[in-house]
Amino acid sequence: MTTVGILYPGFSAEDDYPRAERLLGGDARLPLVHTLMREDAHRVDALRDVGSEDVLADGAQAVAASDGPLDSIIWACTSGSFVFGWDGAQAQVAALQEVAGVPASSTSFAFVDACRRLGVTSVAIGATYPADVAERFVEFLGKAGIRVLTMTPRGIVTAAEVGTLTEDVVLDFAAAVDLPEADAILLPDTALHTVELLDRLDARVGKPVLTANQVSVWQGLRLAGADHARDGLGALFAAGGPRD
């Protein structure tokens, strides 16, 4: 049994993780700890507080203490990682790994690694964030050599509001931001419910749609050496073994 610890800020779409456990078929566990969110705001200062080293250290200690040995640990917050920039996000992961004592990553790096796994070099982004925050994700991907052809911000300030978006809204949003020349579509907010929509998202646009909670789970399994091919979780999981 593979155990991936999930550090999740606040409350919005955390129920995607037990759903992912069910879809994984019982051979992986995803114990989740809610990390401290003093202010629910997609704003740079608030996001830097959400992803601060002391907050993540407390979360790592809590998930390890509550659920036994871990195989890997993931900071499941895209904006709370890319807002630090590439070097800052690397330092964030290194500090988390030191505290947890197991391989660690964040959702921002999970997007990069997922694109590499699928051979994706150009993307369209559908961001729920305000534009100034979303542009930092574009810059982050650029550091990895991933070309963003278009970025459509939705301008939602709070994770709580993002968590209320319906399935039809998510499907329509993915279709609306697509460009024919994009290799994949990225939906970067872990506050967005997507785990039960992954195959439908791919089918709707005819190409891989990578979502934040999807890539977070996949990255945790990859770091634990358990990223074999699986059905029901989109093209990323269906791809199976390493190509990167």
Write down the pLDDT at residue 50.
Answer: 96
pLDDT tier at 242 (50, 70, 90 boundaries)?
A: low
pLDDT at 38 over 90: yes
Region 93-115 average pLDDT = 96
Which has more pLDDT, 31 or 244?
A: 31
How distant is the alpha carbon of residue 17 from its chain centre? 11
Name the CATH architecture for the domain at 2-110+213-238: 3-Layer(aba) Sandwich (3.40)
CATH 3.40.50.12500 residue ranges of the chain are 2-110+213-238, 115-211
Region 153-170 average pLDDT = 97
Name the pTM for this structure: 0.96
CATH of domain 115-211: 3.40.50.12500
Token couple for 110: 């999970």
What is the maximal distance between C-alpha atoms in the chain? 47
pLDDT at 64 over 90: no
pLDDT by residue (tens digit) across 172-219? Answer: 999 999 999 999 999 999 999 999 999 999 999 999 999 999 999 999
How many percent of the chain have pLDDT more than 90? 92
Q: Are 120 and 134 in contact (CB under 8 A)?
A: no
